[in-house]
Amino acid sequence: MTQQQTVLLTDRAWPDDSIERDILEEAGFRVVAGPADPAPVEAIDALVAEHQPAAILTCWATVSSEAVLSSASLQIVARMGVGLDNIAVPAATNRGVLVTNVPDYCVAEVSDHAVGLALAWTRGLVAADREVRAGKWNPAGARLRRLSTLTCGVIGYGRIGRATAAKLRALGARVVISDPHAPADTDGMEAMPLDDLLAASDVVVLHAPLVPQTHHLIGERELSLLPQDAFVINVSRGGLIDTAALVASLESGHISGAGLDVLEEEPTVPQELLAHPGVIVTPHIAFASDASVIDLRRSAAEEVVRVLRGEPAHYPCNTPSPLTTGVSS
């Protein structure tokens, strides 16, 4: 009798694991779930070593190289999300383990969030609400802008960047893009080098992945290229922006604000950001809606089922080496 394969669900950002469990158990797999909140890397390593899963489903928890190497039966690490910065992808590739993600589940939500932050800044929505709640009624003091007169720069022109650019252009803004891997068809958006985009943009929206080459993509030099009173939006990964440089630019008055759904050290929010009237911070929710989270959970679990049944993955993120098998000594 063939031994039942195990799937380890490391963590989750929702109340229960019923969707994932139903899909996986119906397909004949055993499900082991870690704590809802992501456990420390050592705890995840221990779970993998103990249960020897054929698949790991992870949301925010770190899947280290040690975890990848410790399960002899591991075939897939599936990210319940888009970014892969919490997974040791090179180790998985060398070990012959497939890494997948769900790149298309929250395109509408993240692009809506980015545009919402831009509108909140141009119309002063958050700042005005704060003032009214504090007992101030000062319409003459509002510094508002017309979005259709502004240039919006979108950094990263994948699925979500493309959606954000289209929505901003539909609102009348001039939209420019920068992406080292931009497609030949940019839907009529003007593509330009990053420095040129920064110098031209009143609003900058980050839609780039966090990889070693993009860590602190926006730092002191890049912020200095922005026009006076520009607004920076990050709905991708906190590590794309050098937080200290962002704070310095805000406090000097060079840029007027920032809309941040992600931070370098979540959930810690630097006091300087909280104190600045032009900063809007949301708690890493740009991806979320009732519909998107259901899509995410189903898609990630179904990808695991496909791979463990020997079928092609829909969203492979690496090309596993065929040469390395078994547990590393």
Give pLDDT tens digits for 139-185.
999 999 999 999 999 999 999 999 999 999 999 999 999 999 988 89
Same domain, 161 and 263: yes
Q: Is there a contact between 155 and 194 (Cβ–Cβ < 8 Å)?
A: yes
| Residue written as token pair 């950094």 | 155
115 and 256 assigned to the same domain:
yes
pTM of the model: 0.88
The residues, ordered by sequence, that sit 6+ positions from 124 with a Cβ below 8 Å of its Cβ are 142, 143, 144
CB 246 within 8 A of CB 216: no
Whether residue 320 lies inside any domain: the answer is no
- Asked, for residue 91, whether it belongs to a domain, the answer is yes
Residue 124 falls inside a structural domain: yes
**71 and 216, same domain (yes or no):** no
In eight-state DSSP terms, residue 238 is G
Does the pLDDT of residue 325 top 90, yes or no? no
- Dihedral angle of Cα 156, 145, 256, 289, to the nearest 10 degrees: -50
Tell me, yes or no, whether 97 and 120 share the same domain.
no
Q: Are residues 159 and 199 in the same domain?
A: yes
* Sign of the dihedral through C-alpha 41, 46, 49, 51: negative
pLDDT at 118 (0 to 100): 98
Instruction: For 192-203, write each residue's pLDDT tens digit.
Output: 999 999 999 999
Task: Give the model confidence (pLDDT) of 221-268 as tens digits.
Answer: 999 999 999 999 999 999 999 999 999 999 999 999 999 999 999 999
Rounded Cα gap, residues 42 and 20, in angstroms: 24
CATH label of the domain that carries residue 44: 3.40.50.720
Contact 59, 12 (CB under 8 A): yes
Averaged pLDDT for residues 290-295:
96
Is pLDDT of 323 > 60?
no
Could you list the active site residues?
237, 266, 284
- 186 and 302 co-located in one domain: no
- Bridge partners (DSSP) of residue 22 are none
In a domain, 95, yes or no: yes
Pairing of strands 151-155, 98-100: unpaired
In a domain, 315, yes or no: no
Give how many domains the chain has, as a whole number.
2
326 domain residue, yes or no: no
Q: Is the pLDDT of residue 327 over 50?
A: no
Can you give the residue range of the structural domain that contains 58? 6-104+290-308
321 assigned to some structural domain: no
Same domain, 250 and 147: yes
Q: Say if residues 270 and 247 touch (Cβ distance below 8 Å).
A: yes
pLDDT grade for 2, boundaries at 50, 70 and 90: low
Same domain assignment for residues 126 and 75: no
Give the per-residue pLDDT at 241: 98
At 225 the three-state DSSP class reads helix
SS3 123: coil
DSSP secondary structure, 246-291, as one string: HHHHHHHTSEEEEEES--TTTT---HHHHH-TTEEE--S-TT--HH
* Both tokens assigned to 238: 């906190």
Percent of the chain with pLDDT over 70: 97
Give the DSSP letter of residue 213.
G
pLDDT at 182: 86
pLDDT(326) > 50: no
- Residue that has been written with the tokens 């998985």 in this structure: 92
Describe the strand order of the beta sheet including 98-100 as a list of residue ranges: 30-33, 6-9, 55-58, 76-79, 98-100
Residue 260 included in any domain:
yes
Give the C-alpha separation, 9 to 152, whole Å: 39
**Residue 3 banded pLDDT, cuts 50, 70, 90:** confident
On whether both 117 and 245 belong to a single domain, the answer is yes
Instruction: Name the average pLDDT for the chain.
Output: 95
Task: Check whether residue 123 and residue 24 sit in a common domain.
Answer: no
133 CB-side CA count, 13 A:
6
Last residue of a domain, one of 245, 263, 281: 281
Mean pLDDT, residues 49-66 taken together: 98
- Do 132 and 217 reside in the same domain of the chain? yes
Q: 186 and 144, same structural domain?
A: yes
Q: Is 201 exposed, middle or buried (0-12, 13-18, 19+ CB in 10 A)?
A: buried
Angle at 16 between CA 77 and CA 160, to 5 degrees: 55
